[in-house]
């Protein structure tokens, strides 16, 4: 693509949401451009095995699933741009998106930038990042073969990380600040059956112990109920305490909730800026599943297509400062489209 490219629809972000939006927009003959970033595929690539995505009864790796959806998007005419977005200007028409490679002007935009791992907030977490502190078992687990590791967290992601690491590490210590886990029953049962996983609750991480350049060698923990402290020896720490929406590019133009998730109109993916739509984890504080991200990507592409064909993109009276209206009843699905 040229250094200055104009398109009808630009999708910022890859992964199940962005790639699915590209599939639907491609089928609608919008020839969308999807800026996927250098770490393409989204959070799904961190999953070693996905068993709950429709149409995959035997399971599939997250990386392969992401690549298949991407390939399907390009089959229908979507164009992929591997670059990092530097800025987004929603105050002008067409919108302007600048990456480290090119500048794009677009009539409509879908924000699908996903979310990123939440951090513990410890100084030593930053100090030993990459020297024993990790956020992805699929990515970094092999470095800890036959070693002792700890996983911090109590949701689905934490238990999935622990189970993945138990296949590689000598032992896995699962540390959670509450008495019980928020993860689903199937994951809890699997952890309980795994002889390599030890559960330690309710404990908080006060510090990560280590020495550069050797890296991590332990954790300083504190019982959340009694205040009693203890030190455990581990060679690696995997932090799995949730995610934060990657919505900074769109602030303050787009409305967000108190946690930074993009806010959309009830029943649609429309944001408060007409012509801008949000899909996937960047706008989903509740479900955060690959299938719901894909579904919202589909919805965003349909919403964007209807907005474009309505002529709203060419209407000089449409202001980016007014709240996005609900889609009028006249915009019905195109017959035969699935």
Active site (catalytic) residues: 136, 139-140
Give the chain's end-to-end CA distance (angstroms, integer): 30
CA 76 from centroid of its chain's CA atoms: 24
C-alpha to C-alpha distance for 272 and 234, rounded to whole angstroms:
47
CA dihedral 166, 168, 171, 177 (to 10 degrees): -50
Whole-angstrom distance, CA of residue 125 vs CA of residue 62: 26
Query: Taking Cα atoms as reference points, which of 70, 98, 73 lies closest to residue 86?
Result: 98
Report the greatest alpha carbon distance in the chain.
65
Rounded to whole angstroms, how far apart are CA atoms 306 and 114? 24
Q: Which residues pair with 175 in a beta bridge?
A: 152, 200
CB count, 10 Å around CB of 314? 10
Q: How far apart are CA 197 and CA 199, in angstroms?
A: 7
**Residue with token string 């908080």:** 204
Reference 245, options 258, 235, 228, 227; nearest CA is 258
Please list the helix, strand and coil fractions of the chain in percent, rounded to the nearest 5, in that order.
30, 25, 45
79: Cα separation from own chain's centroid = 21
């Amino acid at each position: 693509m040229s250094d200055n490219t104009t398109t009808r629809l630009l999708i910022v972000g890859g992964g199940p949401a962005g790639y699915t939006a590209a599939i639907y927009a491609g089928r609608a003959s919008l020839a969308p451009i999807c800026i996927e970033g250098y770490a393409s595929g989204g959070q799904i690539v961190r999953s070693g095995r996905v068993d709950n995505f429709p149409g995959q009864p035997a399971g599939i790796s997250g990386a392969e699933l992401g690549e298949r959806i991407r390939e399907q998007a390009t089959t229908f005419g979507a164009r992929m741009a591997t670059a990092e977005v530097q800025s987004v200007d929603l105050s002008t028409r067409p919108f302007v998106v600048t990456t480290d490679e090119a500048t794009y002007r677009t009539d409509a935009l879908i924000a699908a930038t996903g979310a990123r791992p939440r951090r513990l907030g410890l100084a030593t977490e930053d100090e030993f990042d990459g020297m024993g502190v990790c956020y992805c078992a699929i990515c970094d687990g092999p470095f800890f073969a036959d070693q002792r590791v700890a996983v911090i967290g109590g949701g689905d992601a934490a238990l999935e990380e622990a189970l993945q690491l138990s296949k590689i590490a000598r032992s896995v210590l699962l540390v959670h600040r509450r008495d019980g886990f928020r993860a689903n029953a199937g994951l809890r049962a699997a952890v309980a059956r795994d002889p390599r996983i030890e559960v330690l609750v309710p404990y908080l991480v006060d510090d990560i112990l280590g020495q550069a350049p050797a890296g991590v060698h332990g954790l300083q923990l504190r019982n959340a109920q009694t205040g009693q402290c203890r030190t455990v020896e581990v060679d690696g720490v995997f932090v799995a305490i949730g995610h934060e929406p990657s919505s900074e590019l769109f602030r303050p133009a787009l409305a967000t909730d108190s946690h930074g998730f993009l806010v959309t109109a009830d029943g649609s993916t429309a944001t408060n800026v007409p012509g801008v739509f949000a899909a996937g984890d960047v706008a989903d504080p509740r479900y955060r599943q690959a299938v719901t991200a894909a579904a919202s990507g589909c919805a965003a592409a349909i919403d964007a297509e209807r907005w474009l064909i309505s002529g709203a993109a060419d209407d000089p009276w449409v202001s980016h400062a007014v709240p996005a209206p609900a889609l009028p009843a006249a915009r019905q699905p195109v017959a035969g489209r699935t």
